[in-house]
Structure 1
Amino acid sequence: MKTMRMLKLAALSVALAASMGLAHSADCVNGVTAGLSTSDVTYGVNGPGSGPYVDANGCFGYMSGNDDNTDLNNAAVAAGWGNGFLQADKSDSAGSAIPLFGGTFTFTLVPSALSTSGTYTLSATDNNGASAPNFPINLDFVLVLKGGPGYAGWYFNDVGFDSSGGGAWAIQFLNPGNQIPALSHMSVYVREGDDGGGGGGNVPEPSALALASLALLGAYATRRRKV
């Protein structure tokens, strides 16, 4: 009976850990539309061509029209990411100073080409001089790819940012003519990350949580046998 109870607890732990992974599904089932993937846009602290890179934590789209603060935050809330994002830069126009952590930072987003795929660099200027806050900072950000009459967005959670980074992107959505459109512009929306000035919080993977649960149950079983 005790063994059966332990097996049930182990199965419950694995199921719970697996369910926690749904919010970061690689096919963006939490992000409204099938056909997009979190691997469509990557990010690395060393910029394009100098990995390592991570995939986005989530995505949404395809949405009609041009992206702006209101529509982006509505989409972010619907996807479960919360709100509070501000457009920090748009690749076809100049960015403005964004208030973060009691100071301001000015961001610049540059795609490598107006094509269906490529790389990008994201850099920022610290406007605070010797006063805090300074780099590194922790950011949540959404990268938007605009192509044809609409756009999609990719969410990166609690990223340690030290003035520059970048990665790769690929448009996978289709325009009304059932073709993959070329990039019209990229946008980046930012907000303060949970860990403030650097450090980058990491959420344990579901598989790691499951293994940890099983290890605890194994230790409990060993102790019970010795008693």
Structure 2
Amino acid sequence: MIDLWFLPLPPSPVTGIQSNRVRLRPFEKTDVATLVAQGSDRTVAHWMISFPVPWPRWMARQRVRDSRREMAAGRGFHFAITDADLPDMPMVGACSAILIGDASRPPELAYWVAPGWQRRGYARSALRLLLSHMFDVDPALIAVEAAVIDGNAPSASLLKGLHFVVQGQEYASAPISWDEPPGTQVRLQRYRLWREDWFRAGQAHISEQDRVDTKAVRGL
């Protein structure tokens, strides 16, 4: 049987988005070890529904492969967050925007920054880049959503600072890393950012000097 991991990854239509020190780039095979380490950190996994602790290597490989497939098919955005000012541009976290469930729903954000890199502005800069790119390349995109587990105050504050507003509440299975009995649920706060609010707030576009190696992707 052919091991699909050894096949080339699908080419990404967006090879990089950068502003100042923060650069978003597609996942590469060389990110597997970092994904395993960051995903296995309990302070990261605690707020992510589907992160087991520890992350198995096969899951990191699958995430890299699936993210590149979705990017190539125009079904979402998946980026490593890197610091372009540091040697070797280390991966400090990740951010994504994907369609979940009903295709009529707005794309949903997911993101994390590893503990050693937190409170340095990486998450805010990364989400501003991602949101700017999404709204710029798709004029039909009217909103983006995000769900936050109750108690995750830093994430809630981050979204509010980017002009997301609370749309309501819902319940979901408790994060895998919590090791709770089957059926345990947690409450999520659902946030939404409307296109008009994004542009009204002056977040607007990525400037041409900050946009690097990007190709328009429509249809998300």
Shorter-normalised TM-score: what interval?
under 0.3
Instruction: Give TM-score scaled by structure 2 length.
Output: 0.25
After TM superposition, the score normalised by the length of structure 1 is 0.25
Structure richer in helix, relative to its length: 2
The structure that has the greater radius of gyration is 1
